[in-house]
Amino acid sequence: MKVAVVGATGMVGNVMLKVLEERNFPLTELIPVASERSVGKKINFAGKEYEVVGLETAVSMKPEIALFSAGGDTSLEWAPKFAAAGTTVIDNSSAWRMNPDNKLVIPEINANLLSAEDKIIANPNCSTIQLLMALKPLHDTYKIKRVVVSTYQSITGTGVKAVKQLENEYAGSKGEMAYPYPIHRNALPHCDVFQDNGYTKEEMKLTNETKKILGDDSVNVTATAIRIPVVGGHSESVNIEFERDFEEAEVRQLLNDFPGIKVQDNPGVNTYPMPIYAEGKDDVFVGRIRRDHSQPNSLNMWIVADNLRKGAATNAVQIAEYLIENKLV
């Protein structure tokens, strides 16, 4: 089982390598792949040293699986080349997510849709993954009509440049800016680029990806995405309107029973999800579960997850594990 990690020297690529090692992923050969400027660099994985190769070399090595985290343009150009060589690509960019011919997969929700014919599989947006993990068991039971979500997103979602900007601002140093304004002691209601409809691409991903993953266009989602000076993970304030009423105790039970969800919800002793505790973990944490008394059949929740792990690397590795377990590669 040869596995290529495309973008191995980047922030998500590094976490992919870490997750593969932690989960004892059954690979026989690792192929770390990066841009030409990183070719020849050495990386350590599971006690061995590997040399970074370029994309063309990686395609010629015909890996069974390629985990991509190298940006949309790279994915659009190179994922089809890997697929043509017989490789199954699991892509972390937005390049293939809304393509009707490509599956958009959260393993706990819809991995059963995958087949051996799926050669380019899309990993959802980090904010979408944690939102849908919490929505899925509730949608199955109460049928969701509408979701209003505000995200409070870690700078790690932007990448190394953003982390460096925050570090420079902490230190009072000047440096390259990832954002149009300072992020230290600030909150930017601006994740990704603005669209003609006034929403950002990040906000529209939450709307469109939710419908595709749930397979239900009747679920309406409206989002506001905010960048905050946090490194541990993304947080989401979520208001959900259902078609039928619910009991809070049953909601907690449904969430608690869903794989990959941990309920942290005891305000009496200040127990609720926070990025500082989610960092480095693969679970999605849900708390502040309470009825919305302003309208019928409505619920408020707070959802937190490490955006580099379940929001990106871990979800991709879980898809790969599913493919192997079900002999689809």
**3-class secondary-structure state, position 110:** helix
Write phi, then psi, for 161 (nearest 5 degrees): -60, -40
Write phi, then psi, for 305 (nearest 5 degrees): -155, 155
**3-class secondary-structure state, position 267:** helix
In angstroms, the CA 61 to CA 72 distance is 22
What contacts 61, CB < 8 A, 6 or more positions away?
A: 2, 4, 31, 53
* Options 139, 191, 234, 293, the catalytic residue: 234
Element spanning 131, H or E = helix 126-142
Find how far residue 234's CA is from the centre of its chain. Answer: 10
Task: Tell me, yes or no, if 191 is annotated catalytic.
Answer: no
Question: Among all chains, which residue has been given the structure tokens 């679970």?
Answer: 283
- CA-closest candidate to residue 155, choices 146, 164, 144: 164
Write phi, then psi, for 140 (nearest 5 degrees): -60, -30
**3-class secondary-structure state, position 158:** coil
- CA-closest candidate to residue 157, choices 268, 305, 4: 305
Residue type, 326: N
Task: Tell me, yes or no, if 126 is annotated catalytic.
Answer: yes
- CA-closest candidate to residue 153, choices 207, 89, 230: 230
In angstroms, the CA 21 to CA 26 distance is 9
User: What is the token pair recorded at 226?
Assistant: 């905010």
* Options 126, 139, 184, 293, the catalytic residue: 126
Residue 108: count other Cβ atoms within 10 Å of its Cβ.
19
Active site residues: 126, 234
